[in-house]
């Protein structure tokens, strides 16, 4: 069966400059474990790139994969976008999400203007994420995927649903002590499609030995939709930061992205 590149209708704005791969009745997805570097949102597959198919008995119980070459885009230290070629693998869409959390994409860019170059690593993106027991999809808070809005679901998000009215937390553990003095939080609010709303309140704590202490904030803890909520505080040197979040009485809450400086 031939491999087809499928295009979305012009009315589907988010999928312009992208193609989906289809073989027979099956649509395919590129997933993080199959592609070098564990990233797929920064890849493009050119329209003239040859694609082949082969059966992999050792993968996901036996699946027919699509293989070829892709171009990975990433920012360098100067802020310029670099490109390099690398192998590309896509699996049937039905088989994804069986190997742990990570990036996945169905609509694959076929030109540089549609791809999302991989940002340089930051203190936050390199941190280990831990959460209160209710937290779901913690890797989303530092995946460096810039949300388009508080209800943007295209890049994944973190949430505490179905908990409501409780006090929860999410923390960054750093590989070595770091001096930090600012956080930015982009809150999840999926009004119209889910049960997450802006938090009732929140604060930042830092780890001092085995004790968690509140930072000395130099401004209000904001909770606005569709924007990063920035809080500066007196500098602290620590191995971990924690966001302590009080959920609204009748709703849950979540986070699109959390930055640290």
| Chain segment 28-42, per-residue pLDDT in tens | 999 999 999 999 999
The ranges of the chain with pLDDT < 50 are: none
Instruction: Compute the residue count for the chain.
Output: 261
Q: Among all chains, which residue has been given the structure tokens 């000395």?
A: 216
| Count of CA atoms in the C-beta half-sphere (13 A) of 196 | 21
Q: What CATH homologous superfamily does 128-260 map to?
A: Galactose-binding domain-like (2.60.120.260)
Domain ranges for the chain, please list them: 3-114, 128-260
Q: What was the pLDDT predicted at 156?
A: 82
Q: What was the pLDDT predicted at 174?
A: 98
- Tokens at 187, concatenated: 């809150």
Distance of alpha carbon 119 from alpha carbon 126, whole angstroms: 12
Query: 73 with 42: CB under 8 angstroms?
Result: yes
- Tokens at 208, concatenated: 């001092």
Query: 126 with 175: CB under 8 angstroms?
Result: yes
Q: What was the pLDDT predicted at 153?
A: 84
Q: What was the pLDDT predicted at 133?
A: 85
């Amino acid at each position: 069966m031939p491999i087809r590149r499928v295009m979305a209708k012009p009315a589907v704005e988010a999928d312009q400059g992208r193609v989906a791969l289809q073989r027979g009745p099956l649509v395919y997805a590129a997933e993080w474990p199959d592609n070098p570097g564990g990233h797929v949102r920064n890849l493009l597959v050119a329209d003239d790139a040859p694609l082949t198919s082969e059966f992999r008995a050792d993968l996901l119980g036996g699946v027919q994969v699509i293989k070829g070459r892709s171009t990975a885009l990433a920012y360098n230290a100067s802020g310029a976008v670099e490109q390099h070629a690398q192998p590309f693998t896509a699996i049937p869409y039905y088989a994804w999400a069986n190997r742990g959390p990570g990036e996945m994409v169905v609509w694959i860019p076929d030109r540089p203007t549609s791809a999302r170059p991989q940002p340089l690593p930051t203190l936050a993106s390199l941190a280990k994420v831990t959460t209160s027991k209710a937290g779901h999809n913690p890797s989303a808070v530092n995946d460096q995927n810039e949300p388009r809005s508080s209800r943007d679901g295209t890049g994944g998000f973190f949430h505490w649903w179905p908990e409501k009215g409780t006090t929860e937390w999410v923390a960054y553990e750093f590989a070595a002590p770091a001096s930090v003095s600012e956080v930015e939080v982009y809150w999840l609010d999926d009004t119209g499609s889910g049960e997450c709303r802006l938090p009732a309140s929140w604060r930042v704590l830092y780890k001092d030995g085995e004790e968690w202490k509140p930072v000395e904030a130099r401004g209000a803890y904001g909770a606005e939709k569709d924007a990063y909520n920035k809080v500066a505080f007196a500098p602290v040197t620590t191995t971990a930061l924690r966001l302590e979040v009080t959920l609204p009485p009748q709703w849950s809450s979540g986070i699109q992205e959390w930055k640290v400086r």
